[in-house]
């Protein structure tokens, strides 16, 4: 049985007259020990999707549909207080920038301890001991002396380690990482990635790793899902996605990445992604797609399996594989 099974998850936000469709019928599975990378431009809905898995997008102005089955339990129907005891305990999240995701006016020790004590019945003293252990575990030297430090007194890498320590404090089964390395220097990025991988090896947690940077994801994930305008447009193993990108968007993404290097911001793709409140009727990528044909504007393409474990949502894939003439340079 998979650890996480998401079916037809849709999230839309009401903004005055308009309704923004941020996530549009996503389905995905994740096994324990497995790491799924989700890539896409900013605004593709990957972050919203991630937050929705934790119930963090719930609000009177949000409409959420679909199913989220986690560890045999349906999360979508949970009351807020039930959900809050899942968060941080069974499902945790690591955010992009620890500088802004940690509370600037509390010492990091306090921020660890409050998480620990929220989910585990420990005395203050025991929780402090646990906090020290956790800091040591994420590779922070002389952890005890760090407890009283504030986020601004630490380096970027160390802050990210603290956030990871908070996320794994209660041995979650699922770790959601929202671009956890984007704000870091390249060398630190690698350290943090290997730390996450190591922690996974130890605990067997499932990981969904969101990034706009295929390069960063490729080294640690098992599978990649490419998101565009709230949908998954291509899904497959790392090998399949990197070496045989089949959706024109994936191809463009990879090309942009190569051109701009690891830190590319994907500006190389012509045009802008569509506004989530004005999605085109057919394939959302069609206006920017150099291979677009008439049928692309008719209906939105469904995710179709083109080989074992490799799905693509593109009208061009319906008839015959076009990969041959679309090879990336």
Partner 1 sequence: MTRLFHRFLQAIPTLFGITLVAFALVHIMPGSPIDALVPPDASADVRAQVIHIYGLDKPLPVQYVLWLTHAVRGDFGMSIGMRVPVNQLLAQAIQNTLILGVAAAFFSFVTGTVLGVLAGLNQGKWIDRMVSTLGLAGVSIPAYWLAMVMVILFSIQLGWLPSSGMHSQGQEGNVLDLLAHVVIPAIALGFTPVGVISRMVRTSLLQVVKQDFVLALRAKGLMRRQILWHLLRNAALPVLTVTGLELGYLLGGSILVETIFAWPGLGGLLNSAIGLRDIPVIQAGILLIGTLFVLMNIVVDFVNSAVDPRIQRT
For partner 1, the binding residues (CB under 8 A) are 51, 54, 56, 81, 84-89, 92-93, 95, 97, 100-107, 114-115, 118-119, 150, 152-153, 163, 166
Residue 172 or 248: which CB sits closer to partner 1? 172
Looking at the Cβ atoms of 95 and 315, the one nearer to partner 1 is: 95
Least distance between partner 1 and beta carbon 12 (Å): 19
Which residue's CB is nearer to partner 1, number 13 or number 106?
106
Q: How far is the CB of 236 from partner 1 (least distance, A)?
A: 29
**CB closer to partner 1, 159 vs 235:** 159
> From the CB of 188, what's the least distance to partner 1, in Å?
19
- Please, what is the minimum distance in Å from the beta carbon of residue 152 to partner 1? 5
In the complex, the smallest distance separating the C-beta of residue 99 from partner 1, rounded to whole angstroms, is 9
If the CB atoms of residues 102 and 221 are measured against partner 1, the closer one turns out to be 102
Q: Cα-atom radius of gyration of the chain, to the nearest Å?
A: 20
CA dihedral 113, 68, 223, 166 (to 10 degrees): 0
* CB of 6 closer than 8 Å to CB of 28: yes
Least Å distance, CB 296 to partner 1, is: 36
Would you say 56 or 328 has its CB closer to partner 1?
Answer: 56
Determine the Cα–Cα distance for residues 200 and 153; give it in Å rounded to an integer.
28
Q: How far is the CB of 292 from partner 1 (least distance, A)?
A: 37
Nearer to partner 1, 170 or 216 (CB): 170
Specify the residue, 209 or 315, whose C-beta has the smaller distance to partner 1: 209
- Residue 94: CB minimum distance to partner 1, A: 9
């Amino acid at each position: 049985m998979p650890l996480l099974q998401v079916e037809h998850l849709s999230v839309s936000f009401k903004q005055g007259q308009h309704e923004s469709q941020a996530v549009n019928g996503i389905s995905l599975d994740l096994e324990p020990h497995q790491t799924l990378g989700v890539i896409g431009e900013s605004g593709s809905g990957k972050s919203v999707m991630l937050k929705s898995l934790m119930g963090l997008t719930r609000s009177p102005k949000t409409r959420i549909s679909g199913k989220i089955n986690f560890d045999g339990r349906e999360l979508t129907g949970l009351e807020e207080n039930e959900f809050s005891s899942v968060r941080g305990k069974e499902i945790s999240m690591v955010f992009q920038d620890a500088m802004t995701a940690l509370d600037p006016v509390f010492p990091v020790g306090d921020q660890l301890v409050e998480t620990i004590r929220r989910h585990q019945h420990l005395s203050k003293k025991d929780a402090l001991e646990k906090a020290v252990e956790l800091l040591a575990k994420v590779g922070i030297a002389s952890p005890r002396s760090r407890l009283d430090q504030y986020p601004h007194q630490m380096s970027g890498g160390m802050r990210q380690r603290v956030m990871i320590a908070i996320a794994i404090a209660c041995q979650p089964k699922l770790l959601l990482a929202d671009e956890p390395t984007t704000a870091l220097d390249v060398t630190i990025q690698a350290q943090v990635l290997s730390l996450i991988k190591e922690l996974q090896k130890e605990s067997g947690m499932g990981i969904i790793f969101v990034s706009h940077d295929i390069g960063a994801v490729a080294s640690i994930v098992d599978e990649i899902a490419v998101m565009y305008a709230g949908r998954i447009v291509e899904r497959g193993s790392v090998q399949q996605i990197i070496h045989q990108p089949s959706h024109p968007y994936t191809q463009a993404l990879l090309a942009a990445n190569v051109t701009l290097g690891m830190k590319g911001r994907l500006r190389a793709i012509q045009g802008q992604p569509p506004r989530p409140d004005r999605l085109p009727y057919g394939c959302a990528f069609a206006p920017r797609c150099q291979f677009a044909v008439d049928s692309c504007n008719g209906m939105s393409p469904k995710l179709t399996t083109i080989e074992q474990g490799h799905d693509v949502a593109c009208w061009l894939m319906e008839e015959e594989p076009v990969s041959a003439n679309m090879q990336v340079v």
